[in-house]
């Protein structure tokens, strides 16, 4: 070997060496330089050119960005009663992928147990079937649907959203029983809860699945209520475990603020009850609304709509008729059909709708209060003016009839208002003139939005000034004078009417009293805003007096409530459809110093037969019969609740309630004197010297002038009597019937009991009920004649 090498050195293969050198230099160029160039270029492309792209992707997988839900604020009524609250609820999540792992592990465990490798007996087997049926039972879902969803190759299936705490606990117990570990879990979320379910539903509104306000105050003040969602950004490793790192960042959630509404839950309840009662009694087909407002500030006290719905389940249609129709559609076309879905959607929209602001209507005779105020303010009429009515008047070649076809004859201004006389108001309108009339339409706010803090306020539909004051406006002026042929929103009407009676101040109506934070600090509060003074205090006072006359013997006499001075105006607006009337009543009380104004309307009471003016229940379709009756009762309730002191007239006083004094133990003479002093008459039973018992018992509230029975040694009968059916009977008959049974009558309703047309319309204790002797039965009377029906036509 050594020799060979030496030989090689001695005879160097120069050509071969050159080849090796040349080829090595070539390799050096390739492997030392050229191959590294694409690497540097590629790295430049990844790290410099596309740096941000990859960085973003990397960071999005490396960090966890968790939203921290802010607590949504509470909505309170004016007395601090919560109307909308948030509570914790849970979403139930299943991970089908993890369930597979759980099932595999179960098999291993079961095998180990069978072989004897493991001592612990496996629990129930977590098959898809078992999981689906268990969860179906707890969550009230369809088992097959769950089973289908468990087949999906995913790790996130939300089985149920926003379940209650107790359901969640059941789910967790189920999870433990079957050892489902991370195949089943729940995440806390926030759920909106409405403790009064349907109360003021259209005002409060509701939230959608994402807890964002969808309707009503929830939507209008969503930004106030929702607060600010916080974030927690944390770093996590590839297994999803969180790590401490400098990428950690917290952004605190800011809880939402609370709304304090002007709505009073009690008044709201009264309004809803009045509305529901009327709708039921009068066969009202299209629902209605009732608004109560403080005329001095514009604060909305209550706002009821019908049909309504349960805020806790807003998509459930509540109206039974609509529901029946929907069921028919569902049966005919199926649940997924367009027909059904469309009908369901429109039914939902209808019940969510706040009619009194989203829709307009022809105000009818209630509008006459505004015309009256304008005419008095302009001085074109005075209280001493008289108007004559022949039952109809011809304007621009068209005959416009009065509600009383025979005519009202000659009447004073007050009487014309009380009679709701159309020819008289046409004359008043003409005296005002189109220009002035239109000015007042503007001044009373009928051409603008009221600016109330509510969603979807609609605009009115009123003639243009040019048309109204032009040569073709004559008929329009005439119809406008009694509130027909133009459309306004109910909120515009009640706002204008408030100005008529509150001294002429047109207020901006509002629903939000104040915004408070979680600690109760007031962040913002609404000051009543006066838009303008429309009429003078003096004119307003005249209007109040005249409008009180409407209830005191006029078309609105059904609104009468003993002890309260109620003023108002009836309204019956015909629509362009046949037999479709909107009956309404605008009432306020006390008449000398209004504290509350209400507007109640029933849309489309069903006539017993086409063309008839009566409903199946025998009620005349008019604002005077329907609106006034309900409004009067409503006002009495509200005034009672507000603690407004009753003021009795001399006649009323004799019928006013008195408290039965205690006379037991007194001598017969002393007892008689004491009872009479309290305004009661006395009848004695027995022949003893001292009173041993009395009917009614001490402290019972009975009408003044009622008879008190004194027992002088005789035993008081303790048997009960059956309350008779008083419906349709005259006041005198009712009193005699009750008296003979030892019961007391308390009359409510119209003031003048003794006309032939006054009949009992309702009683506080149902016929057939057994009651103690001496019980007071409240009987409601109404005047049921056509002449009181203050119809626009």
Partner 1 sequence: MTVTARKMKRDLTVEEQLARGPMDLPFLMLTLMLTGIGLVMVFSASYATAYYDGVVAKHDPTYYFVRQALFGVLGIVLMYAVSRLNYQHYRWMAVFALMAAFLCLILVFTPLGFGKATTGAQRWIRVPGLGSFQPSEVAKLGVILYFASRLSKRSTEKKKKYDLRKPSGRLLDLLDRIGLIELVPYMLILGAVAGLMLMEPHMSGTILILVGGAAVLFAGGIKLGWFAAGGAAVAAGLWFIMTKTSYMAARLAIWQDPWSDPLNGGYQTIQSLYAIGSGGLLGVGLGNSRQKFNYLPEPENDYVFSITCEELGYIGAAIIIILFALLVIRGYWIALHARDRFGALLVVGITTLVAVQVFLNIAVVTNLIPPTGISLPFFSYGGTALVIQLVEMGIVLSVSRQIPAPRQG
Of 711, 687, 590, give the one whose Cα is nearest residue 639: 590
- Minimum CB separation of residue 15 from partner 1 in Å reads 9
- Minimum CB separation of residue 250 from partner 1 in Å reads 19
Tokens of 69: 């839900």
Distance CA 483, CA 497 (A): 13
* Burial (CB count <10 Å: 0-12, 13-18, 19+), residue 271: buried
- Minimum CB separation of residue 98 from partner 1 in Å reads 16
DSSP per residue, 552-566: TTSTTGGG-BTTB--
393 CB neighbour count, 10 Å cutoff: 18
Tokens of 778: 């409240």
Q: Which is nearer to partner 1, 24 or 681 (CB)?
A: 24
Q: Which is nearer to partner 1, 22 or 123 (CB)?
A: 22
Q: Which is nearer to partner 1, 238 or 768 (CB)?
A: 238
- SS3 of 150, please? helix
Q: Is the peptide bond before 307 cis (omega within 30 degrees of 0)?
A: yes
Residue 16 CB contacts under 8 Å (≥ 6 apart), including other chains: none
CA dihedral 703, 709, 710, 712 (to 10 degrees): 180
- Minimum CB separation of residue 100 from partner 1 in Å reads 16
Q: Which is nearer to partner 1, 47 or 720 (CB)?
A: 47
Residue 404 CB contacts under 8 Å (≥ 6 apart), including other chains: 389, 391, 419, 421, 787
- Minimum CB separation of residue 22 from partner 1 in Å reads 9
Distance CA 751, CA 550 (A): 12
Tokens of 87: 């509570």
Residues that bind partner 1 (CB under 8 A): 1, 4-5, 7-8, 13, 16-17, 19-21, 23-25, 27-28, 31-33, 35-36, 38-40, 42-44, 46-48, 50-51, 53-55, 57-59, 61-62, 235, 237-239, 243, 245
Query: Residue 254: phi, psi to the nearest 5?
Result: -105, 120
Q: Which is nearer to partner 1, 38 or 699 (CB)?
A: 38
CB 186 within 8 A of CB 168: yes
- Minimum CB separation of residue 12 from partner 1 in Å reads 9
- Minimum CB separation of residue 179 from partner 1 in Å reads 23
Of 547, 455, 78, give the one whose Cα is nearest residue 293: 78
What is the CA 439 to chain-centroid distance, rounded? Answer: 34
Q: Which is nearer to partner 1, 156 or 472 (CB)?
A: 156
Q: Which is nearer to partner 1, 50 or 715 (CB)?
A: 50
Q: Which is nearer to partner 1, 238 or 379 (CB)?
A: 238
Q: Which is nearer to partner 1, 54 or 472 (CB)?
A: 54
Q: Is the peptide bond before 317 cis (omega within 30 degrees of 0)?
A: no
712 CB neighbour count, 10 Å cutoff: 17
> Which residue is listed with tokens 């515009």?
492
- Minimum CB separation of residue 52 from partner 1 in Å reads 9
- Minimum CB separation of residue 36 from partner 1 in Å reads 5
Q: Which is nearer to partner 1, 4 or 699 (CB)?
A: 4
- Minimum CB separation of residue 67 from partner 1 in Å reads 22
CB 592 within 8 A of CB 619: no
């Amino acid at each position: 070997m050594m020799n060979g090498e030496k030989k090689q050195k001695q005879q160097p293969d120069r050509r071969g060496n050159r080849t090796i050198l040349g080829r090595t230099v070539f390799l050096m160029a390739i492997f030392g330089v050229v191959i590294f160039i694409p690497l540097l270029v590629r790295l430049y492309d990844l790290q410099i050119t596309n740096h941000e792209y990859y960085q973003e992707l990397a960071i999005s997988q490396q960090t966890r960005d968790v939203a921290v839900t802010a607590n949504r604020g509470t909505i309170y009524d004016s007395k601090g009663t919560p109307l909308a609250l948030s509570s914790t609820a849970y979403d139930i999540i299943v991970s089908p992928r993890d369930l597979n792992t759980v099932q595999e592990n179960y098999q291993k465990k079961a095998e180990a147990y069978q072989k004897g490798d493991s001592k612990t007996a496996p629990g129930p087997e977590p098959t898809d079937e078992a999981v689906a049926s268990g969860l179906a039972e707890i969550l009230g879902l369809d088992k097959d649907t769950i089973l289908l969803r468990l087949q999906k190759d995913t790790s996130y299936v939300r089985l149920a959203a926003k379940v209650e705490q107790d359901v969640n606990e059941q789910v967790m117990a189920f999870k433990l029983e079957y050892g489902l570990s991370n195949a089943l879990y729940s995440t806390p979320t926030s759920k909106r809860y409405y403790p009064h379910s349907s109360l003021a539903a259209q005002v409060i509104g509701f939230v959608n699945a994402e807890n964002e306000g969808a309707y009503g105050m929830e939507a209008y003040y969503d930004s106030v209520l929702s607060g600010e969602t916080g974030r927690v950004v944390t770093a996590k490793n590839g297994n999803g475990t969180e790590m401490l790192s400098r990428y950690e960042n917290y952004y605190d959630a800011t809880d939402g603020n609370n709304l304090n509404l002007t709505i009073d839950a009690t008044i709201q309840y009264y309004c809803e009850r009045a509305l529901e009662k009327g709708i039921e009694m009068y066969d009202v087909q299209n629902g209605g609304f009732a608004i109560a407002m403080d005329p001095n500030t514009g604060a909305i006290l209550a706002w009821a709509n019908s049909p309504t719905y349960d805020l806790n389940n807003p998509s459930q249609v509540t109206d039974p008729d609509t529901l029946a129709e929907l069921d028919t559609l569902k049966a005919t076309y199926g649940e997924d059909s367009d027909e059904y879905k469309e009908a369901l959607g429109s039914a939902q929209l209808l019940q969510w709708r706040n009619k009194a602001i989203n829709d307009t209507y022809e105000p009818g005779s209630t509008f006459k209060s505004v015309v009256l105020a304008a005419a008095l303010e302009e001085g074109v009429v005075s209280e001493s003016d008289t108007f004559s009515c022949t039952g109809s008047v011809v304007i621009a070649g068209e005959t416009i009839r009065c509600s009383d076809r025979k005519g009202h004859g000659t009447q004073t201004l007050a009487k014309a208002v009380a009679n709701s006389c159309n020819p008289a108001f046409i004359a008043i309108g003409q005296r005002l003139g189109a220009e002035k009339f239109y000015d007042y339409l503007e001044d009373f706010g009928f051409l603008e939005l009221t600016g109330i803090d509510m969603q979807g306020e609609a605009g009115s539909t009123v003639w243009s000034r040019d048309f109204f004051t032009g040569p073709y406006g004559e008929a329009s002026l005439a119809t406008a004078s009694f509130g027909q042929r133009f459309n306004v929103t109910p909120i515009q009407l009640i706002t204008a009417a408030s100005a008529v009676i509150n001294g002429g101040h047109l207020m901006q109506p509002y629903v939000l009293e104040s915004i408070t934070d979680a600690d109760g600090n007031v962040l913002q509060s609404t000051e009543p805003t006066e838009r303008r003074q429309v009429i003078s205090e003096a004119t307003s006072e005249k209007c109040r007096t005249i409008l009180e006359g409407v209830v005191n013997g006029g078309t609105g006499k059904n609104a009468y409530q003993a002890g309260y001075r109620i003023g108002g105006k009836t309204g019956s607006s015909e629509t362009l459809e046949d037999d479709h009337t909107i009956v309404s009543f605008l009432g306020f009380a006390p008449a000398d110093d209004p504290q509350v104004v209400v507007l109640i309307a029933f849309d489309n009471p069903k006539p017993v037969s086409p063309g008839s003016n009566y409903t199946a229940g025998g009620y005349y379709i008019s604002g005077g019969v329907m609106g006034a009756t309900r409004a009067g009762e409503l006002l009495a309730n509200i005034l009672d609740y507000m603690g407004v002191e009753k003021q009795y007239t001399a006649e009323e006083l004799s019928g006013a309630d008195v408290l039965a004094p205690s006379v037991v133990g007194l001598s017969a003479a002393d007892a008689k004197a004491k009872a009479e002093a309290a305004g009661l008459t006395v009848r004695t039973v027995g022949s003893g010297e001292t009173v041993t018992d009395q009917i009614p018992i001490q402290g019972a509230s009975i009408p003044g002038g009622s008879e008190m029975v004194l027992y002088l040694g005789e035993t008081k009968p303790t048997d009960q009597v059956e309350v008779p059916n008083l419906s349709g009977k005259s006041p005198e008959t009712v009193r005699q019937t009750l008296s003979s049974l030892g019961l007391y009558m308390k009359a409510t309703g119209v003031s003048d009991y003794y006309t032939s047309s006054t009949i009992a319309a309702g009683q506080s204790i149902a016929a057939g009920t057994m009651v103690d002797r001496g019980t007071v039965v409240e009987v409601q009377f109404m005047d049921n004649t056509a002449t009181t029906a203050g119809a626009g036509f």
